[in-house]
Chain A
Amino acid sequence: MALPAARARGWAAAVKMAQRRRHAEAPRGSPSRAPPGSRAALYVHWPYCEKRCSYCNFNKYIPRGVEEAAMRSCLVTEAQTLLRLSGVQRVESVFFGGGTPSLASPNTVAAVLEAVDQISHLPADSEVTLEANPTSAPGSRLAAFGAAGVNRLSIGLQSLDDTELQLLGRTHSARDALQTLAEARRLFPGRVSVDLMLGLPAQQVQRGALPAPDPELAAEMYQEGRAMLREVGFRQYEVSNFARNGALSTHNWTYWQCGQYLGVGPGAHGRFVPQGAGGHTREARIQTLEPDNWMKEVMLFGHGTRRRVPLGQLELLEEVLAMGLRTDVGITHQHWQQFEPQLSLWDVFGASQEVKALLAQGLLLLDHRGLRCSWEGLAVLDSLLLTLLPRLQEAWQQRTPSPVQGG
């Protein structure tokens, strides 16, 4: 694969410029202090895969020859449209997911990044992640993606057992995986993450469908796994995310902190306030699913947004609660106040008997820092939320005289 020299140079130039800008801006404050409405994360969906994996229910297609140039131009166009619409000044992370985005050419990645930097600002230290599959990403390709602006890799390892990999319908072997991992670590030191699956069925599998994982066994593997990772210095910063040496994924963190994110590409989801169009309400947006239709729409209208659902204040708070508690820091009082200045976490949860029972059971913590799960509580968060969400609704309704506003 030829290196997209011109674009890479363009991007490299941009990086240098950005670096200079960052230095100039530094005295005025760190990037994360920018007003929340003016920044966002960007997700870019590459919808194609080499073949279908037996477990995957993502929006992906097995192409009969991808018109990459057309796809590239549509991704660029949609990114431009949505960035303008959002009025976002600064993109703090970009995530190329899929599908198998490592099947796209580094050219495409570079083109999107360049467009992002043109419309809003993509600082040089922004996290730019690419999902890569071991077979589609030999070392030279990974280096090319690095030159295109990618600075973090998320590798779909899934398993290091060949039988399991076969069962999952993966195209790579454990050896391929380890080799890719080694290459990735060499090229992106300290900025590589891997996906692993647990609760996989043992080898006796009927042809066709995979049996559902045994919940008891999966629970045990989860507990054992997280305990082991803790021992070797990994921080469990979210339900299923672990990092060493502070290498958290900024992009995913934005999701759990209910920051703004734009979704570009077929079936991509976004959540942002369309400030560029004079909007004041956060919207949940979904792009058209099928790549062909999505491309037609992008060519016609500049974007393929299929659905826009305005999120009410209560809905937003529900998301802040459900997503925030997935992280190890949970919801700090400060974080909560950004979304709801009137009603504190104490107001909502402090007096509830049911919540007190969860605190007494040691599953939940509510203290001067905020609300968060204990180590044990994190594993049963979905049960805790069934108590916390109705409590939040109740507190909200008592606070707001007109339920209409609760949305």
Chain B
Amino acid sequence: MWAPMGRGRWHGCALTVWATAAAHRGILEPRPMPTRGAAAKSRSQDRLYSSADRKEKIDMSRFSVENIRNFSIIAHVDHGKSTLADRLLELTGTIDKTKNNKQVLDKLQVERERGITVKAQTASLFYNYEGKQYLLNLIDTPGHVDFSYEVSRSLSACQGVLLVVDANEGIQAQTVANFFLAFEAQLSVIPVINKIDLKNADPERVEKQIEKVFDIPTDECIKISAKLGTNVERVLQAVIERIPPPKVHRKNPLKALVFDSTFDQYRGVIANVALFDGVVSKGDKIVSAHTKKIYEVNEVGVLNPNEQPTHKLYAGQVGYLIAGMKDVTEAQIGDTLYLHKQPVEPLPGFKSAKPMVFAGMYPIDQSEYNNLKSAVEKLTINDSSVTVHRDSSLALGAGWRLGFLGLLHMEVFNQRLEQEYNASVILTTPTVPYKAVLSSAKLIKARRAVQKNMVYIDQNRVMLKYLFPLNEIVVDFYDSLKSLSSGYASFDYEDAGYQTAELVKMDILLNGNLVEELVTIVHKDKAHSVGKAICERLKDSLPRQLFEIAIQAAIGSKIIARETVKAYRKNVLAKCYGGDITRKMKLLKRQAEGKKKLRKIGNIEVPKDAFIKVLRTQPDNDGRRNRSNVTGI
């Protein structure tokens, strides 16, 4: 899965390791699990050698500040950010021009599987324009609303953005949201209308939309097809012409912003930095403004997009820095780094991301707690928008209460835990934060949406603003919106504070046993319908057992909904003769293994994904596998 990234050599190495392991196991068939391990291995090997095998270091001093441009690509999901990034990388010779360049900057397995960008990625492009060598630092950003925190962080290292809009779909919710992020940061905005090769493309209409909504003249739009490469050269030229160079000084003492960081198990923390002033090189003693700890720089370099060491990094440049930070908490994103004994005024940093959806996370087996703990810690340093609080549950033991930016964010986090750390967890109901006023036993929240604003973008499109209770939108609002509008509507949200509401606590019972994970706070008027829906969905996701299961929703002692899962009547495989025994035993053992992972509530065995399934309105048949539906918020 890492092969298309142009690092076949090391991938091949990892494969050899795996093949040997398989050979040791002899005649047994390869099981799915080690494949994951192999993936993780290939990734770490990529990491380990990607910089070491390139001894030739680039002299970054030849890029003076006026020849540097730092920019991001922002867009609504699926409007073509990653494809444009691929083309820019090819055009500047950063990567080879082959047919395999798809989502080059999307390194995570989950990104490639889902076709989305989750984590911002940086690449330094070298580009010759009118006789001058330019250094263009590109930061690819996620498009999904859940990941807008990544966008705002990336923008702090930029002076301009490419605002990519689909020539067919036009302006969508995230186009607006991302535009305002860039606008507030006072960045130059270059509108790029992409996918002009599509049959239904209407770039003129989109130009007019851009003019109306963003007040950008139509002649500033660049019309391209990133897929075919049409006009992409113009984009690079516009970056140089229209985006100002960073306002920084090489002569001043070092002032570097940590705008992202990753953790490598061999080299420790790798901090992505933007230099606002000064120079940094190997051997420098630097200080973190946040912790006041002193570090010695081991390596600096640029990302193109793999780490490539350089002698130095200069003001205005974007790159990475490794300074022996071993602990995940040492590289705070938003921190300012300066030279020892040359303190500077720290940069403003970032306001921390506000979690919108919470979930309890527990190891399936408590003996896995420490492994999971370190996996969560490592993942959260790569994704600092996840908030982590220790929690414990009578049923599940020690775990955490995690805050996510949205449901997709939660799913992606879970998937990364599984894929990158081979950790299996139980996730419990996501809840939104409520503030309880104990005296009146009322919780604060509004129920119905209130219309705040309505703007016609053009004849075909209207932008509506509503005040919504968060619990109405976190689970199923988006799915309903998409299905009602046949996929045309798009959606974005921001937090509007707390409001008053009447809420009750609803329990879910299995044969009379409380299911802690499914305790739900729900509006009084909605308790019945929500309870019924949860019972029905639970019925669909609970496998039959040797006895009947009653699923009940209750408020206090009052049962408000009930479903029944009938007992198994027959599940024995009919035919089993000499040729069937091996297969039959394999199947039984796999099922017995799976059974160990089930959570027991009373004597009922519940698969761990049952809870997640319960939270979704429509199961897999609603097109969740369809890329645009999963990611199109």
Interface residues, chain A, CB within 8 Å of chain B? 43, 215-216, 218-220, 222-223, 239-240, 252, 255-256, 261, 263, 267-271, 284, 286, 307-309, 315, 318-319, 322-323, 326, 357-358, 361, 363, 378-386, 389-390
Q: Is the CB of A361 within 8 A of B547?
A: yes
Alpha-carbon distance between A381 and B595 when the two chains are bound, in angstroms: 15
B512 to chain A, nearest CB (A): 17
Please, which residue of chain B has its CB at the minimum distance from the CB of A218? B570
Considering only residues 559-616 of chain B, those with a C-beta below 8 Å from chain A are 568-579, 581-582, 584-585, 588-589, 591-592, 595-596, 603
Q: Is the CB of B588 within 8 A of A326?
A: no
Q: Is the CB of B595 within 8 A of A239?
A: no
Residues in A neighbouring B27, C-beta threshold 8 A: 307-309
The 4 residue pairs across chains A and B that have the minimum distance between CB atoms: A219-B569, A219-B570, A381-B572, A269-B579
Residues in B neighbouring A357, C-beta threshold 8 A: 603
Alpha-carbon distance between A43 and B580 when the two chains are bound, in angstroms: 13
A203 to chain B, nearest CB (A): 22
Residues in A neighbouring B591, C-beta threshold 8 A: 382, 386
Residues in A neighbouring B569, C-beta threshold 8 A: 216, 219-220, 223, 379-380
Please, which residue of chain A has its CB at the minimum distance from the CB of B588? A385
- Is B546 located at the chain interface by the 8 A CB criterion? yes
Q: Is the CB of A386 within 8 A of B592?
A: yes
Q: Is the CB of B581 within 8 A of A271?
A: yes
Residues in A neighbouring B571, C-beta threshold 8 A: 379-383
A72 to chain B, nearest CB (A): 22
Residues in A neighbouring B596, C-beta threshold 8 A: 390
Residues in A neighbouring B547, C-beta threshold 8 A: 361
A321 to chain B, nearest CB (A): 10
Q: Is the CB of A389 within 8 A of B588?
A: yes
Residues in B neighbouring A219, C-beta threshold 8 A: 569-570
Q: Is the CB of B546 within 8 A of A383?
A: yes
Alpha-carbon distance between A352 and B556 when the two chains are bound, in angstroms: 36
Residues in B neighbouring A385, C-beta threshold 8 A: 588, 592
Q: Is the CB of B577 within 8 A of A255?
A: yes
Alpha-carbon distance between A239 and B595 when the two chains are bound, in angstroms: 23
A361 to chain B, nearest CB (A): 7
- Also in contact, A239 and B588, with CB within 8 A (given A269-B582, A390-B596): no
Q: Is the CB of B572 within 8 A of A382?
A: yes
Q: Is the CB of A380 within 8 A of B546?
A: yes
Subset of 27 A-B contacts with CB under 8 Å: A239-B576, A255-B576, A255-B577, A255-B581, A270-B578, A271-B578, A284-B581, A286-B582, A307-B27, A308-B27, A318-B585, A318-B589, A319-B585, A357-B603, A361-B547, A378-B572, A379-B571, A380-B569, A380-B570, A380-B572, A383-B546, A383-B571, A384-B546, A385-B588, A385-B592, A386-B588, A390-B596
With A255-B577, A309-B27, A383-B571 known, 12 other A-B pairs at CB within 8 A are: A219-B569, A255-B578, A268-B579, A319-B585, A322-B584, A323-B576, A379-B571, A379-B572, A382-B573, A382-B588, A386-B588, A386-B591
Alpha-carbon distance between A267 and B578 when the two chains are bound, in angstroms: 11
Residues in A neighbouring B585, C-beta threshold 8 A: 315, 318-319, 322
- Also in contact, A326 and B582, with CB within 8 A (given A307-B27, A309-B27, A390-B595): no
Q: Is the CB of B589 within 8 A of A389?
A: yes
Please, which residue of chain A has its CB at the minimum distance from the CB of B591? A386
Greatest chain B CB density within 10 A among A216, A218, A308, A380 is at A380
A366 to chain B, nearest CB (A): 17
B617 to chain A, nearest CB (A): 26
B241 to chain A, nearest CB (A): 61
Alpha-carbon distance between A390 and B593 when the two chains are bound, in angstroms: 8
B568 to chain A, nearest CB (A): 5
Considering only residues 535-557 of chain B, those with a C-beta below 8 Å from chain A are 545-547
A255 to chain B, nearest CB (A): 5
Alpha-carbon distance between A326 and B571 when the two chains are bound, in angstroms: 12
Considering only residues 514-548 of chain B, those with a C-beta below 8 Å from chain A are 545-547
Residues in B neighbouring A315, C-beta threshold 8 A: 585
Alpha-carbon distance between A283 and B578 when the two chains are bound, in angstroms: 13
Alpha-carbon distance between A286 and B582 when the two chains are bound, in angstroms: 10
Residues in B neighbouring A322, C-beta threshold 8 A: 584-585, 588
Residues in B neighbouring A378, C-beta threshold 8 A: 572
Greatest chain B CB density within 10 A among A218, A263, A322 is at A322
Partner of A361, one of B546, B581, B582: B546
Residues in A neighbouring B568, C-beta threshold 8 A: 380, 383
- Also in contact, A269 and B578, with CB within 8 A (given A357-B603, A382-B573): yes
Please, which residue of chain B has its CB at the minimum distance from the CB of A255? B578
- Also in contact, A263 and B546, with CB within 8 A (given A240-B574, A380-B569, A386-B588): no
Q: Is the CB of A252 within 8 A of B577?
A: yes
Residues in A neighbouring B572, C-beta threshold 8 A: 239, 326, 378-382
Alpha-carbon distance between A386 and B573 when the two chains are bound, in angstroms: 13
B18 to chain A, nearest CB (A): 22
Q: Is the CB of A319 within 8 A of B581?
A: yes
Q: Is the CB of B546 within 8 A of A239?
A: no
Alpha-carbon distance between A271 and B582 when the two chains are bound, in angstroms: 10
Residues in A neighbouring B589, C-beta threshold 8 A: 318, 389
Please, which residue of chain A has its CB at the minimum distance from the CB of B576? A326
Mark contacts of B13-30 with chain A using CB atoms, 8 A cut-off: 1 yes-contact digit, 0 otherwise: 000000000000001000
- Also in contact, A239 and B574, with CB within 8 A (given A318-B585, A386-B592): yes
Residues in A neighbouring B573, C-beta threshold 8 A: 239, 382
- Also in contact, A284 and B578, with CB within 8 A (given A223-B569, A380-B571, A390-B596): no
Alpha-carbon distance between A111 and B546 when the two chains are bound, in angstroms: 50
Residues in A neighbouring B603, C-beta threshold 8 A: 357
Q: Is the CB of B546 within 8 A of A269?
A: no
Please, which residue of chain B has its CB at the minimum distance from the CB of A325? B572
Alpha-carbon distance between A326 and B584 when the two chains are bound, in angstroms: 12
Residues in A neighbouring B588, C-beta threshold 8 A: 322, 382, 385-386, 389
Alpha-carbon distance between A320 and B576 when the two chains are bound, in angstroms: 13
Alpha-carbon distance between A220 and B584 when the two chains are bound, in angstroms: 23
Please, which residue of chain A has its CB at the minimum distance from the CB of B593? A390
Q: Is the CB of A389 within 8 A of B546?
A: no
Alpha-carbon distance between A256 and B596 when the two chains are bound, in angstroms: 27
B578 to chain A, nearest CB (A): 5
Residues in B neighbouring A263, C-beta threshold 8 A: 578-579
Please, which residue of chain B has its CB at the minimum distance from the CB of A240? B574
- Also in contact, A323 and B581, with CB within 8 A (given A239-B574, A239-B576): yes
Residues in A neighbouring B574, C-beta threshold 8 A: 239-240
A185 to chain B, nearest CB (A): 23
Residues in A neighbouring B581, C-beta threshold 8 A: 255, 269, 271, 284, 319, 323
Alpha-carbon distance between A379 and B545 when the two chains are bound, in angstroms: 13
Alpha-carbon distance between A381 and B571 when the two chains are bound, in angstroms: 7
Alpha-carbon distance between A326 and B569 when the two chains are bound, in angstroms: 16
Alpha-carbon distance between A271 and B581 when the two chains are bound, in angstroms: 10
Q: Is the CB of B592 within 8 A of A223?
A: no
Greatest chain A CB density within 10 A among B545, B573, B588, B596 is at B588
Please, which residue of chain B has its CB at the minimum distance from the CB of A393? B592
A86 to chain B, nearest CB (A): 14
Please, which residue of chain A has its CB at the minimum distance from the CB of B566? A216
Please, which residue of chain A has its CB at the minimum distance from the CB of B26? A309
Alpha-carbon distance between A378 and B581 when the two chains are bound, in angstroms: 17
Residues in B neighbouring A252, C-beta threshold 8 A: 577
Alpha-carbon distance between A384 and B571 when the two chains are bound, in angstroms: 10
Please, which residue of chain A has its CB at the minimum distance from the CB of B572? A381
B365 to chain A, nearest CB (A): 14
Please, which residue of chain B has its CB at the minimum distance from the CB of A390? B592
Please, which residue of chain B has its CB at the minimum distance from the CB of A384? B546
Residues in B neighbouring A267, C-beta threshold 8 A: 579
Residues in A neighbouring B546, C-beta threshold 8 A: 358, 361, 363, 380, 383-384
Considering only residues 226-244 of chain B, those with a C-beta below 8 Å from chain A are none
Q: Is the CB of A389 within 8 A of B570?
A: no
Alpha-carbon distance between A378 and B596 when the two chains are bound, in angstroms: 23
